[in-house]
């Protein structure tokens, strides 16, 4: 049953670069893309709204060339489209590439963390136990060293929410790589932005338990090449993560 569910999730997610790639631009162009993207995903630019490029350029103090290039990036993410006589407009949410790494960031920036974290918890419950099981069967010594380094960083992070989130992301990234599956490995672009957001929220609002012991149980099972145990302890870790979000009121109890 778990294998069938995993197959369905992977088939529906279609992990191609165009769905998860992060925009690599920087400077003014990147700032305009991020500003517009955040305003679209948080609803300030509504579905179907047509952009007045000249007014928008004046508001942001940028040229039409910069705006047009920014809209090309947003169009590649499914957020906007352009038609003759109509102009550039916001597409329906159903057309957005919701697996895009930038969209994940912008949803958090735009106040949509609650929905995102709920969906992430659901997704992780399907994906990450399978990842842990496969990592147990395929891991290398280098994979174990990477996961161990992440746990060390996690222990040293203390009350530093950013450092703790980075260490948590590094641990789960090490497991993804340990599967030896390139598609799993690319899922870090999907999981990490939301995972960091979740960790920052938990550290900011809760006196969280030490996360290292639960993660170390996962690593021990992976080191022992015990796939069933790795899956089981990962499920327990995820249940605790979901419970933290429930205690914060971020996701409802029925999502546990």
Task: List Cβ neighbours of 109 (8 Å cut-off, separation of 6 or more).
Answer: 34, 38, 42
Confidence band for 14, pLDDT divided at 50, 70 and 90: very low
Residues 70-96 have pLDDT tens digits of: 999 999 999 999 999 999 999 999 999
- CATH for the 112-255 domain, from 1.20.120.530, 3.30.1390.10, 1.10.40.50, 3.40.50.11030: 1.20.120.530
Bridge-partner residues for 90, per DSSP? Answer: 80
Residue 193: pLDDT above 50?
Answer: yes
User: For residue 44, what are the contacts with CB-CB under 8 A and spacing of at least 6?
Assistant: none
CATH number for the domain formed by residue range(s) 17-95? 1.10.10.10
State pLDDT tens for residues 199-224.
666 666 555 678 899 999 999 999 99
Extents of the domains making up the chain: 17-95, 112-255
Tokens standing for 24?
Answer: 């690599």
CA atoms of 200 and 205, how far apart (whole Å): 9
């Amino acid at each position: 049953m778990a294998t069938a569910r995993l197959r369905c999730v992977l088939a529906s997610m279609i992990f191609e670069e165009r769905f998860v790639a992060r925009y690599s631009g920087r400077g003014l162009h990147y700032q305009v893309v991020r500003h517009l993207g955040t305003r679209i995903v948080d609803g300030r630019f509504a579905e179907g709204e047509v952009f007045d490029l000249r007014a928008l350029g004046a508001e942001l103090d940028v040229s039409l060339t910069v705006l047009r290039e920014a809209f090309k990036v947003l169009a590649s993410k499914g957020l906007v489209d352009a038609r003759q006589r109509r102009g550039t407009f916001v597409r329906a949410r159903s057309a957005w590439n919701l697996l895009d790494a930038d969209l994940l960031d912008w949803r958090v920036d735009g106040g949509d963390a609650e929905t995102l974290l709920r969906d992430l918890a659901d997704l992780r419950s399907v994906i990450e136990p399978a990842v842990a099981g496969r990592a147990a069967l395929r891991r290398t010594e280098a994979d174990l060293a990477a996961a161990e380094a992440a746990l060390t960083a996690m222990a040293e992070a203390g009350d530093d929410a950013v450092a703790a989130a980075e260490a948590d992301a590094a641990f789960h990234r090490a497991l993804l790589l340990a599967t030896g599956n390139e598609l799993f490995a690319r899922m870090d672009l999907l999981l990490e932005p939301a995972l960091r957001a979740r960790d920052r929220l938990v550290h900011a609002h809760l006196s969280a338990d030490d996360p290292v012991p639960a993660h170390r149980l996962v690593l021990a099972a992976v080191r022992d090449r015990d796939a069933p145990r790795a899956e089981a302890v990962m499920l327990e870790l995820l249940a605790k993560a979901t419970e933290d979000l429930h205690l914060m009121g971020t996701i409802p109890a029925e999502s546990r």
